[in-house]
Structure 1
Amino acid sequence: MRRLLCAVAAAALLTVAGCGNGSDWSQPHPAPTPVGTLGAGFTDPAAPPTPEGTVTPSPGSWDDVHPSKGYRVVLLHAGDDAPTKALTKSVRDWADDENVDLREVAAGAANPIDDIVKAMDMRPDLIVSAGNPLIDALTTVSANHLDQHFLVVGAELAEPTHNVTAADWTGASFRGEGLGMSSAYDPTSFTEARCAAAIRAGVAAVLTGTTGIVLWLDKV
C-alpha cells in the first residue's frame, strides 16, 4: 500500500509540473518576436502603409516569418457556417504547425462582447477573430483596449485602430456597422489556401509591427 501511495503521489507531482511548464498564462513571459523576415513585396518600402490602409502583399512574402517560442493566441470564433469552419480549421492547423500555445473561445450570439472580454482576460499575445457575428462587437471593444492585438481573418472592421489587423479578400470583406454583406460576398472563396494565407500573412504583419491595416489577399 505504501508503494502504491508513493507512486500516486509521484504521478501527481509530475502532472502538476507538466501543467505549469509553459501552460500557465497567468505567469509573465517574454514579449513575442518575429523569427525570420518578410519577403519582397509584402509592403512597398517607398510607400509604407497608412493607418486603416489596404495593402496587397505578394503571395508567399510572409512565408519566412514565424512566431517565437511560447506565442499565446486565443482563437475567438462565432458561427457554424462553412466559411467560419474553414477559417477556424486553418488557425488550428497553423497553431499546430508553429507549436503555438492556442486556446479557444466560442462566442455566443446573445452578447459577444462578454466573450471578447473573456478572451482578453486570458492575456494572450494575440486574439484571432473568425466569424462575421463578432465584427460589430470587436469594433466597440478593440478601440477601448489598444494594448491588445487583434487579427480578423475573413472580414474587417470599418475603422480599425492600430491594434487591429485584418486579412481579407473580395469574396469576404464583411465590415459590419450596418453596412450589410458585400455584394461580392462568396462563401466558396474561403478556400483552404486562402484561409491559410489569411492567418499566416496576418500573424506575420502583427509580429513585424505592420498593424492597423487590411491585407488584401485576392492574389492567393
Structure 2
Amino acid sequence: MHLGPLVSKSARWTSCAAVMLLVATIFNYDIEQQLGPWIAPLFGVAIWLMFVASFFIDIIRQIKNKDKEGLSRHGFVLVDCIVILIAVFFPYREVQIFRDFNGKLEKRLEVIKLIEENKLPRPYKHDHLIAHLPKDLEYLSEGGGDVIISDKNYGQADTRMLDRQSLHVQFYLFRGFLGHYSAFEYAADDRPPFQASEAKQLRQMAKNWYFIAM
C-alpha cells in the first residue's frame, strides 16, 4: 500500500496549522482585545496543541513510511521549525504596542485637547476621574471608551477643575477582570504615572507619554 499521498496530506495539514499559529502569534494582541483575557489564552493553547499534534503525527508518519523524498521536496519540517522559532522568540507584543501607540497618537492628542477644554462628558457622578470618549473615538481606549483623568490633586473627590500643567490621562490597552490593566498615559509634566511604584512594566514611549502595565 502506497502511503505517499497520505503523508503529503498530513504535511499540508501541518503547514496549515503552522500558518494559523503564525497568524495567531502576530495578531495575538488584537485577538486578546477581541476575545478578552479569559478566552484568548484558551484560543492560543488550542492553536498550539493543534500545531504540535499535527507536527509530530507528520514526523512519525514520514519516518514510518520513509518518505524522504517528500520531506526533501516540500521542506515542511524546516518551515514548521521556523514557525516555532518565530512564535516563541518574535517580540510580537512589543511590536503591537508600538504600532498602537504610533498609529493612534494624533487622535489621542485630540482627546487631550478636548479634556483640557473640558469638552468630554463625565458620566459617573461618583467619580470625576473618569471621562467617556465620543462614539467615533471609543477605539482609542479599550473596555468601553473610558479614560482616566488626574492631576496633582489625584485622589481628591472632585477633579473637575484640572491643573493642565500636571494633567495625566490614561488610555486603556487592556483591562482584566482582577484589576490588571495596561495603558498609555499622557503626562503633561512628563513625570512617570502616579502608580509607577506599583507597575509591573513601565516604559517611556515618547516625551509626555508612558506605557504602564499593572
Compute the TM-score of the two structures, normalised by the length of structure 2: 0.25
Q: Larger radius of gyration, structure 1 or 2?
A: 2
Larger relative contact order (C-alpha < 8 A, sep ≥ 6)?
Answer: 1
Larger helix share, 1 or 2: 2
Q: What is the TM-score normalised by the length of structure 1?
A: 0.25
